[in-house]
Amino acid sequence: MAEAVIEVKGLAKHYPGKKAVDGVDFEVRKGQVFSLLGPNGAGKTTTVEILEGLRTPTAGTALVLDHDVTKDYAKIRKRVGVLPQDFEPFDRLTPTEAVGYWGRLFDRSLSRTDVNRILEQVSLTDRAKVQAIKLSGGEKRKLGIAMSLVGEPELLFLDEPTTGLDPKARRDLWGLVRRIESEGRTVVLTTHYLDEAEQLADEVAIMHQGKIAAHGRPQELISKSGSGTTVVLGGAGEAGLRAVQRLGLPVRQENGDVLVRVADPSQMKSVLRDLASLDLPLRDMYTRRGTLEDVFLTLVGARMEEGVLQQ
């Protein structure tokens, strides 16, 4: 097993009347993508900010690269890269200028070749001489990652890197994260996009109300949750919900669709036969496998949407 890059034990951060982080434990192994999931208020950003040396914990310990973040952060900071959620590039600098300037802040004199190599890593070569103010949202996030790579970090913290991006830009960033991982670097990714974590993460920790509700590999969590396969009756509405309930099947409604959970694959044929016997005006009917969203619904009984926890 790879060595631990981050070790968190009993970590807590309390404010008057609120426990933002309430005694969490986890490890992040070298060379993996570790995703911390949760809606706004779950405690994930506070946890990451403690690991980044921006907040002091109320209790517990956090070791990053074998150093205590509360005592030895000076020994850590040049070995990590950070892309904060609210990152905004210098509007009037080009990517070439921004990366070069960031290098000087790290006491590194980057040659033109060094700068070009970093921009090539994030697929910004063609936009290297365009002022940041003219870059798209996805290109700005890529520039933020490029700047975080200047110090050749062993560990990267990416906080909500794809928030607000269109689907193509999101998937471009996914490809970039995979390339960074392939170089042997470790990535801590915070996100409220469950599909993003499922695609990218080797391990995930789902946070809720300051605690970790589940921790493990995505597919292991999906299997343990018993979410199985869901049959979607598109447009079945209230009538479809009542009809399926009379069959005694586990069912819920979502945006006018009726979702029937089939935990045991051996029961799929009989469930489909029973559903086919119903006289319902359907828009469509299809199956989908269990997802991390199903895990979250099972564990927390809530739905994550764009950073909002809807009870």
User: How many domains in the chain?
Assistant: 2
pLDDT of residue 309: 40
Average pLDDT, stretch 278-293?
88
* Residue pointed to by tokens 């990590």: 80
Model confidence pTM above 0.85: no
Domain enclosing residue 178, as ranges: 4-216
**The pairing of beta strand 155-159 with beta strand 186-191:** parallel
Residue carrying structure tokens 């470790």: 186
Q: Are residues 110 and 50 in the same domain?
A: yes
Residue 310 lies in a domain: no
Residues 201 and 275 in one domain: no
Residue 308 within any structural domain of the chain: no
CB contact at 8 A, 36 and 48: yes
Is 181 in the same domain as 239?
A: no
Which one of 183, 216, 249 terminates a domain?
A: 216
Question: In the prediction, which pLDDT does 301 show?
Answer: 62
- What residues have CB less than 8 Å from 253, skipping those under 6 apart? 237, 238, 241, 259
On whether both 286 and 248 belong to a single domain, the answer is yes
Residue 311 resides in a domain:
no
Flag whether pLDDT at 295 surpasses 70: yes
Looking at the domain assignment, is residue 240 inside a domain?
Answer: yes
108 vs 203: CA distance, rounded Å: 33
pLDDT for the residue 17 = 92
Check whether residue 149 and residue 202 sit in a common domain: yes
103 and 163 assigned to the same domain: yes
Same domain? 26 vs 173: yes
> Do 15 and 102 belong to one domain?
yes
Using the predicted structure, report yes or no on whether residue 281 has a pLDDT greater than 80: yes
Q: Are residues 20 and 74 in the same domain?
A: yes
Note the pLDDT tens digit of each residue in 148-176: 999 899 999 999 899 888 898 889 999 99
User: Which residues make beta-bridge pairs with 252?
Assistant: 259
Q: Are residues 212 and 229 in the same domain?
A: no
- Work out the average pLDDT over 280-309: 72
In angstroms, the CA 67 to CA 75 distance is: 7
Rounded CA-CA distance 190/49 in Å is 11
pLDDT tens for each residue of 221-263: 887 776 678 899 999 999 999 999 999 998 999 889 999 988 7
Tokens 């914990």 sit at which residue? 57
For residue 295, give the CATH number of its domain: 3.30.70.980
CATH number of the domain at 95, please: 3.40.50.300
Ordered alpha helix ranges (H), 108-267: 112-121, 137-148, 167-182, 194-200, 218-225, 237-246
Shared domain for 112 and 170, answered yes or no, is: yes
Shared-domain flag, residues 99 and 198? yes
Q: What is the pLDDT of residue 226?
A: 62
Q: What is the pLDDT of residues 85-144, one digit of tens each?
A: 888 888 999 999 999 999 988 888 899 999 999 999 899 999 999 999 999 999 999 999
Six-digit token string for 281: 């005006």
